Amino acid sequence: MSLHLLTAGEIASLIRDRRLSATAAVTAALDRISAHDGAVNAFTEVTAARALARAGVVDAAIAAGEAVGPLAGVPFAAKNLFDVAGSVTLAGSVIEQRRAPATQDAFAVAAMERAGAICVGCLNMDEYAYGFTTENSHYGACHNPHDLSRVAGGSSGGSGASVAAGLVPISLGTDTNGSIRVPASLCGLWGIKATYGRLSRAGGVMFVPSLDHVGPFARSVGDLALAYEAMQGEDIEDPAQSWRGMQRVSGVLHEGVTGLRVARLGGHFARHGHGYVQVAADRVADALGARAMVEIADAAAGRAAAFLITAAEGANQHLDDLRTQPERFEPLTRDRLLAGALLPAQWVVHAQRVRSHYRTHVMELFRHWDILIAPATPSVATPIGQDMLEADGQVVPLRPSFGVYTQPISCIGLPVIAAPLQGVDDVMPVGVQLIAAPWAEDVLFRAAALLEREGICASVVAPGFV
Amino acid sequence: MITDEFDPLAYVTAVAPAMGMRFAPERLAVLADAFTLVVRVGMPALLHQVPDEAEPAPVFVA
């Protein structure tokens, strides 16, 4: 049985039906990681002993006839900024090696395990989540399973690569400016960044508190829904959480999009990228019955505001270390954080006011539309080490450019599902953003499931890892 | 918001000590380049006019 080709839902079903033990599922995942992670460098730590112990608990519960969760025995892994009890929370840095091992799991990790899933390790990322490529000089670049010479995206690069290589069926990441949607796009995966404040971020090293989101990656919409449901829960430890009660989405996956008003985003979102990313967005828009092309006024200003707020807030998180040991930061991260530490306060306050004003404009759109469609990235995955991106007649710095379509959305906290398309470019997958009004993740799941059923979008284990 | 006379190298050289940071001249030049990139990408926001009532607090309640 090729467990790595099964969905999380299928694995959990086999385990609940006693046709597979959780121990066997975890052992198979650990074997896959041992055999293949050397090629992709997705994991910074494999928590085998913890995982096998947890699997034994799940197996014992099943043997005793006790209820187990919807993700019973399903292996998953978490970006290494989430606390995993017994592991040092590195956040992609060497500076954080000073930390003692975490004494308890981050909320998201604990929530997944309450649903029966089993954490098998911690995943590579850009240092402190400040990047879109996971070219981490401390822990090595993360390689895209669809083409090992290319980046996996970032900052949750290990989260994307681990699922695309079939090492785990679900992973956890974070998204401040696109760090779930970019690797989901470049690795050909489903990913969700829920509404700001929906999912607790407590327990770990976050990046920019006023922009940080957590969320899962998966190779099927059903798995994404299971993980999204599992990660919910009220948590007073996250001061930014706005708890609205559980939102069940597994039950709406077959509802389709009848009655939903869908539009394709133009303007800023129709520029800046390769033509094929627009083709991808058009395919999705057509399949969902998009009736118009609409523009978000001032999207470029919103994106720029996010960039400034990120630089300033991100730097503030690490100010003492920037003062005392700047040489220990990742070179790709250090100078941007230092620059952020020196931004004039008036620029940052102005950026916050731009964000607020921009948000008011965007919310007007949702009086007329339920789902907005836009590309996720301006290109497919680029070669590791590439510095500049040529697209839409311009040559621009590559690393910040990967956020050109994602930042204008996340900076105002909107929920987004990244939907993967195969074959738009010759070899590499690319993603499209499905965007909804705050708290309307359910309509996104309806649309995503329809796209999957109709074969417009699909996520696969990368051919070299089947 | 930014005049033509703005000099990133002079700025970071002057402000770094105020943030408790000291750098060698060659590092200051690299930092000035990084600052210039942040300014370039952030410019559409800096040039964007907002009404007086635009709220700076990161309010996300829908």
What residues make up the domain containing B55? 1-62
On whether any CB of chain A is under 8 Å from the CB of B10, the answer is no
- How far does Cα A99 stand from its chain's mean position? 25
Mean pLDDT of A456-466: 97
Residues of chain A positioned with their CB less than 8 A from the CB of B56: 349, 352-353, 356
On whether any CB of chain A is under 8 Å from the CB of B55, the answer is yes
Q: Tell me: the pLDDT tens digits for A78-96? A: 999 999 999 999 999 999 9
For residue B18, what is the nearest residue in chain A, using CA coordinates?
A342
Q: Which chain B residues in 31-50 lie under 8 Å from chain A, judged by CB atoms?
A: 31, 33-35, 37-38, 41-48, 50
* Residue A401: other Cβ atoms inside 10 A: 22
CB-based contacts of A44-49 (< 8 A; 24+ apart in sequence): A44/A80, A44/A90, A44/A121, A44/A122, A44/A123, A44/A124, A44/A139, A44/A158, A45/A80, A45/A87, A45/A121, A45/A122, A46/A120, A46/A121, A47/A84, A47/A86, A47/A87, A47/A119, A47/A120, A47/A121, A47/A122, A48/A120
Return the percentage of chain A with pLDDT > 90, whole number.
95
Mean pLDDT of A164-170: 98
Domain count, chain B: 1
d(CA A455, CA A20): 30
ipTM for the complex? 0.93
- Closest alpha carbon to A50 in A121, A103, A123: A121
pLDDT at B58 over 80: no
* Residue A367: other Cβ atoms inside 10 A: 7
Mean pLDDT of A105-120: 98
pLDDT of residue B21: 93
Separation in Å, CA of A95 to nearest CA in chain B: 18
- Closest alpha carbon to A307 in A403, A389, A386, A379: A403
pLDDT at A37 over 70: yes
Q: Tell me: the pLDDT tens digits for A419-442? A: 999 988 778 999 999 999 999 999
- Contact call for B42 and A355, based on CB within 8 A: no
Sketch the domain layout of chain A as residue ranges.
3-465
CATH superfamily of the A3-465 domain: Amidase signature (AS) domain (3.90.1300.10)
pLDDT at A256 over 60: yes
Tokens of A242: 């706005």
Q: What mean pLDDT value characterizes chain A?
A: 96
| A193 given a catalytic annotation | no
On whether any CB of chain B is under 8 Å from the CB of A254, the answer is no
Nearest CB partner across the interface for B55, out of A302, A346, A356: A356
- Contact call for A343 and B48, based on CB within 8 A: no
- Contact call for A307 and B19, based on CB within 8 A: no
Q: Tell me: the pLDDT tens digits for A323-362? A: 999 999 998 899 999 999 999 999 999 999 999 999 989 9
On whether any CB of chain B is under 8 Å from the CB of A9, the answer is no
On whether any CB of chain B is under 8 Å from the CB of A347, the answer is yes
